[in-house]
């Protein structure tokens, strides 16, 4: 059976901009963001790519025309060969009725209710309804798809199925939490024998979304919601945990069964005024963006997220006798909260996939529709599912930029490893481009920027001269899975291949890898081994043998505001517009002319 999952709406940005006043990245940040496609053939996930990697529009919510075409082309298939197309949203008539009722029963004046119904009605009929989804596919592909070959999968179920499949299947308790699905923002329950059991009364409506609440604080601090929440998470580490959190006093109400309500106004003017009062800000936007104030508020936002998710897990623990916890959805990218959730719970294991946020719902919709409860027993769980480029493509790109770069062609993989380790032993920043592109926001290794964490100021070098981003941002180290417990306090985790957990750096290593330590002495690590990424594992061995440094700094190969590079040309463009010292692309070690 061949199933292609995809996520994205042609009219999303246009409708959210025109009907709801969304601008910039916000137009892509409500429904359908992180558009992607994924292909499952006879039970195996063979290809997946985010549309932004190909279109070069970050966080795009557009119909993933390029991603669908690439997935089929790489498998040698056409649209006729696909048995079912799976879409990770199901705005059924019942959901439509809920949307109408929410407006009708709300506290708006009558005229405002009619206006909200008009706008929501246009959004539903023009984009969200099953008929609109089918029409969008036909229009963008030019393919007369039989509606019976289009499966609509509820959004949270797609999240859950992505995590379950990539974790290898098996019974598990689960929490799914994000900004919004069709009508809910969070669900929890158990997955037993491939059957989903939701815990009664624990689902959280969209109006009390923890993800939306965190996003509103993100906007309040001058960042972009649904995009920059990780900045807030990073800032929180610069201050102590709050002794008193006014968010928990004023807007959050925890329920006994693990549910909760969060009461924050929708209108930015109203919630800015609320936050000014709660956080003690009387100086307007300038004061909100002062570093110390941002740290204080970020700490409260992070504490709120940790408190609410831990509350859910406590209730889930009491209701479930299972040992493993699956956590999926946008909130699962909060790696600081993830570690605390696991360590403070009775669960012995916790899995967060590399597709935990919305890129992964394309995978989840596909595997759900294919009827897969588990991945094949001998399959390697890998995020390296995207495009790769042969030597001819790489040479062509190098020749195109030949007036600006020089390169040395190494004879074999061993020589590439040795030369790269030699460069990284010094204070060089190296772009590392190998094999197939990664999928999702929490897996690197084939499109990475690497550096030596032994240099205390290397974070500043990369943040300011390469990534063009805020100096408070930390970097994640990549380490061999076999070495990780020696360098980091891993707690219940044996490995962490997708940078979805943080761990304290052992005291004896903090002075040896200062560039890999965040201000609080932790690191969001990525572990690798020979099965998952042989070239990177070999590079780590060679680098450690040369330097006695047990890990490398590992950040995404892009600059702020741009998608991670996908093609050789993308890599060369990024290399030439930053102060990256060297680019290692397949067997070619590239240097800027005059460097």
460 phi-psi bin (left φ>0, alpha ψ -120 to 50, beta other): alpha
d(CA 91, CA 456): 51
Q: Which two tokens stand for residue 92?
A: 């059924």
Asked whether 566 and 387 are in contact (CB, 8 A), the reply is: yes
Rounded CA-CA distance 2/85 in Å is: 9
**Which residue spans within 202-304 are E strands per DSSP?**
204-205, 252-254, 260-262
- The verdict on whether 311 is a catalytic residue reads no
First to last CA, the chain: 52
Helices and strands of the chain, counted as H and E runs = 22, 23
- At 34 the three-state DSSP class reads coil
Nearby residues of 520 by Cβ (< 8 Å), 6 or more positions away:
237
Contact 397, 567 (CB under 8 A): yes
Task: For residue 511, give Cα distances in angstroms to 230, 428, 527.
Answer: 25, 19, 21
DSSP assigned state of 437: P
Nearest to 361 by CA among 133, 92, 162, 86: 162
Q: Round to whole Å and give the CA distance between 527 and 483.
A: 9
Answer positive or negative: Cα dihedral of 263, 269, 272, 274: negative
Q: Can you list the alpha helix ranges (DSSP code H) found in 177-265?
A: 210-220, 229-236, 246-250
Helix (H, G, I), strand (E, B) or coil at 514: helix
Q: In the structure encoding, which two tokens stand for residue 255, read together?
A: 């329920």
What residues pair up with 479 in beta bridges, in sequence order? 527
> Active-site residue among 33, 134, 159, 518?
33
Residues 6+ away with beta carbon under 8 Å from 559: 466, 467, 468, 469, 574, 577, 578
**β-bridge partners, 86:** 5, 151
Q: Whole-angstrom Cα distance, residue 64 to residue 55? A: 9
Q: What angle do CA 178, 179, 180 make, to 5 degrees?
A: 95
Which residues have a catalytic role annotated? Answer: 33
């Amino acid at each position: 059976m061949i199933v292609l999952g995809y996520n994205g709406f042609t009219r999303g940005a246009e409708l959210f901009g025109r009907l709801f006043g969304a601008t910039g990245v916000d137009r892509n940040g409500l429904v359908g963001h992180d558009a992607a496609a994924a292909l499952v053939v006879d039970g195996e996930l063979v290809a997946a790519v985010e549309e932004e990697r190909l279109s070069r529009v970050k966080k795009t919510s557009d119909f993933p025309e390029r991603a669908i075409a690439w997935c089929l082309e790489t498998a040698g298939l056409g649209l006729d060969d696909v048995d079912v197309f799976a879409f990770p949203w199901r705005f059924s008539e019942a959901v439509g009725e809920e949307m109408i009722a929410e407006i009708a029963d709300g506290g708006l004046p009558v005229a405002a209710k009619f206006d909200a119904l008009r706008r929501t009605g246009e959004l539903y009929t023009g984009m969200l309804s099953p008929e609109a989804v089918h029409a969008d596919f036909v229009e963008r592909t030019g393919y007369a798809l039989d509606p019976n070959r289009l499966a609509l999968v509820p959004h949270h179920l797609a999240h859950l199925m992505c995590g379950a499949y990539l974790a290898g299947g098996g019974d598990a308790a689960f929490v799914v939490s994000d900004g919004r699905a069709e009508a809910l923002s969070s669900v929890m329950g158990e997955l037993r024998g491939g059957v989903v059991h939701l815990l009664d009364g624990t689902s959280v409506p969209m109006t009390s979304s923890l993800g939306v609440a965190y996003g509103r604080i993100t906007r309040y601090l001058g960042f972009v919601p649904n995009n920059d929440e990780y900045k807030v998470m990073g800032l929180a580490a610069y201050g102590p945990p709050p002794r008193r959190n006014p968010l928990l006093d004023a807007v959050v109400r925890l329920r006994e069964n693990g549910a909760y309500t969060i009461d924050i106004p929708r209108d930015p003017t109203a919630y800015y005024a609320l936050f000014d009062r709660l956080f003690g800000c009387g100086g307007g936007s300038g004061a909100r963006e002062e570093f110390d104030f941002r740290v204080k508020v970020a700490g409260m936002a992070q504490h709120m997220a940790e408190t609410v998710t831990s509350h859910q897990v406590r209730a889930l623990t009491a209701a479930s006798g299972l040992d493993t916890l699956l956590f999926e959805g946008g909130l699962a990218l909060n790696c600081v909260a993830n570690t605390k959730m696991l360590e403070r719970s009775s669960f012995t294991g916790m899995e967060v996939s590399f597709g935990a946020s919305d890129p992964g719902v394309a995978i989840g919709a596909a595997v759900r529709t294919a009827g897969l409860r588990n991945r094949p027993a001998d399959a390697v769980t890998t995020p390296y599912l995207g495009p790769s480029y042969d030597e001819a493509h790489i040479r062509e790109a190098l020749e195109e930029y030949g007036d600006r770069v020089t390169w040395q062609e190494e004879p074999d993989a061993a020589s590439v490893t040795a030369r790269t380790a030699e460069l990284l032993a010094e204070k060089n920043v190296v772009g590392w481009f190998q094999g197939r592109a990664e999928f999702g926001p929490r897996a690197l290794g084939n499109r990475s920027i690497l550096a030596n964490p032994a240099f205390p100021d290397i974070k500043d070098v990369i943040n300011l001269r390469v990534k063009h981003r805020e100096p408070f941002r930390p970097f994640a180290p990549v380490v061999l899975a076999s070495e990780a417990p020696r360098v980091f306090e891993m707690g219940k985790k044996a490995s962490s291949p997708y940078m979805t957990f943080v761990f304290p750096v052992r005291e004896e290593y903090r002075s040896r890898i200062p560039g890999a330590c965040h201000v609080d002495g932790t690191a969001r690590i990525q572990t690798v081994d020979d099965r998952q990424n042989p070239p990177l594992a070999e590079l780590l061995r060679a680098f450690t043998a040369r330097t006695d440094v047990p890990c490398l700094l590992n950040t995404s190969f892009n600059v702020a505001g741009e998608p991670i590079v996908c093609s050789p040309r993308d890599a060369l463009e990024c290399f030439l517009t930053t102060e990256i010292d060297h680019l290692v692309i397949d067997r070619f070690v590239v240097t800027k002319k005059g460097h």
